[in-house]
Amino acid sequence: MTPSTSFRVAVLPGDGIGHEVMQPCIDVIDAAVRRTGNFELRYEWLEAGADTYRQTGNALPTSTFEACKRADAILLGAMGMPHIRYPDGTEIAPQLDLRFDLDLYAGVRPIRAIPGVPSLLKSPRAGDIDLVIIRESTEGLFASRGKGVIENDREARDTLVITRGVCERLFDFSFRLGAQRKANGRPGRVTCVDKANVFKSFAFFRQIFDERKQGFRDLTADHVYIDATALMLVLKPWEFDVIVTENMFGDILSDLGAGLVGGMGYAPSADVGDEHAVFQPSHGTAPDIMGQGKANPTAMFLSAAMMLDWLGRRHEVAGAVEAGRLITRAVDDAFRGGRLLTCEFGGDTGTKEVAGAVLDAIETSGRA
Ligand code: ATP
């Protein structure tokens, strides 16, 4: 049967372990699409990253950027290498350029305990961790990227920017996500994380949050300061549902969150705008483990699941939403009972073995 819908996916494996987790991810997506059907994905593999910069002098070639703009979704591995840098000493990070250039204001960072993945938290409630951090991704302190100044070797300055336009869209996005999660049995709590007790910019951030919450009265909307959030995320992470915060705070909290559920190899992400979206694992290129077959591809798989869910909802293709669910379920089934132990825990389950277990779970899912 000819599929009724075809999506174009721009595939940017990038550098380091980005390459190693991408092909297994495509295999996993294809297996899920075969099971749920009636749509197809057409992949366009594209060059970008530190290695591309080394070879061509441009980390994000125009042809790659244009192809990303034309695509229905962008799937990215990881980019950057500590030893390949711009002349000013900063690291190559075209994933940040994509966020700014495609206006991907909502950085979606789910932090969910996967059954069977060890947790460093002793509490039995660690298994209940299921929250999403929404990190604003186009302004905040990162608005100063490439614009910071050092004056006379005496003083350095980077400026944090908060705008009403971006905040309104960011908070509405967060409340809509809270409502969607509430419909699936989550508490429906959206927490604004800021430092409104000290900075004017954050008081403004909070004020806009309070304005926008009026449109979502079924949800619980509250505020927690960034420092208290760091504490609460370690003490009682299971109490959070949706957290929305500024770019730099979100950058830090999402790594903390990843640590709560097994590490960077378990933390998927999406950078979503009104027209485009990039899906990539939260981890970087991990030069320390590259080329050894050790990279945990789980975050990449879960990012692909988020992509399928986003495409399916946006274009009303139920099969794509189901394919996303199937991948997430297959990841849970593969790890359940502690069957796989990845390198983050000193185990020897590598990229190939995790991918094989997830593929098996996709094949057997729902079959008696
Ligand atoms: P960046 O500077 O972009 O954050 P990075 O590779 O230096 O990139 P992370 O991605 O945050 O840093 O990873 C930190 C460490 O966690 C890596 O050095 C690696 O040891 C481990 N790690 C990250 N991703 C994975 C993965 N997918 N599988 C196994 N270990 C990983």
Cβ neighbours, 10 Å, residue 352: 12
Give CA angle at 226 (282, 77), nearest 5°. Answer: 5
φ, ψ of residue 43 to 5 degrees: the values are: -95, 140
Please give the pLDDT value at position 92.
87
Which residue shows structure tokens 């502690």? 338
Candidate from 264, 285, 354 with most ligand 1 atoms within 8 A of CB, to mutate: 264
Residue 73's beta-bridge partner residues? Answer: 9
| 93 CA → ligand 1 middle, Å | 15
Please give the pLDDT value at position 90.
85
Please give the pLDDT value at position 2.
58
Please give the pLDDT value at position 273.
96
| 283 CA → ligand 1 middle, Å | 5
Q: Dihedral sign, CA of 243, 247, 253, 254? A: positive
Please give the pLDDT value at position 146.
86
Cβ neighbours, 10 Å, residue 238: 16
DSSP state of 344: G
Q: How far apart are CA 129 and CA 123, in angstroms?
A: 11
Q: How far apart are CA 181 and CA 175, in angstroms?
A: 10
Cβ neighbours, 10 Å, residue 6: 11
| 214 CA → ligand 1 middle, Å | 40
Q: How far apart are CA 18 and CA 355, in angstroms?
A: 15
CB 76 within 8 A of CB 268: no
Per-residue pLDDT of the chain (368 residues), as tens digits, is: 556 799 999 999 999 999 999 999 999 999 999 999 889 999 999 999 999 999 999 999 999 999 999 999 999 999 999 999 988 888 888 988 899 899 999 999 999 999 999 988 999 999 999 999 999 999 999 999 889 999 999 999 999 999 999 999 999 999 999 999 999 999 999 999 999 999 999 999 999 999 999 999 999 999 999 999 999 999 999 999 999 999 999 999 999 999 999 999 999 999 999 999 999 999 999 999 999 999 999 999 999 999 999 999 999 999 999 999 999 999 999 999 999 999 999 999 999 999 999 999 999 986 65
CB 357 within 8 A of CB 334: yes
CA of 21, closest atom in ligand 1: 27
**Residues within 6 Å of ligand 1 by CB:** 17, 80, 264-265, 283-286, 288-289, 295-296, 299, 343-344
Please give the pLDDT value at position 251.
96
Please give the pLDDT value at position 37.
80
CB 290 within 8 A of CB 49: no
Please give the pLDDT value at position 93.
87
β 242-245/189-194 pair status? parallel
Q: Which two tokens stand for residue 77?
A: 């591995």
Contacts of 157 by beta carbon, 8 Å cutoff, 6+ apart: 148, 149, 151
| 263 CA → ligand 1 middle, Å | 9
Q: How far apart are CA 161 and CA 181, in angstroms?
A: 30
**For atom 6 of ligand 1, which residue has the closest CA?**
286
| 185 CA → ligand 1 middle, Å | 32
- The rounded radius of gyration (Å) of the Cα atoms in the chain is 20
CB 334 within 8 A of CB 309: no
Q: How far apart are CA 164 and CA 186, in angstroms?
A: 29
CB 107 within 8 A of CB 271: yes
Q: Which two tokens stand for residue 24?
A: 């297994």
CB 289 within 8 A of CB 343: yes
Helix (H, G, I), strand (E, B) or coil at 68: helix
Q: Which of 30, 27, 97, 40 is nearest to 68 (CA)?
A: 97
Please give the pLDDT value at position 167.
98
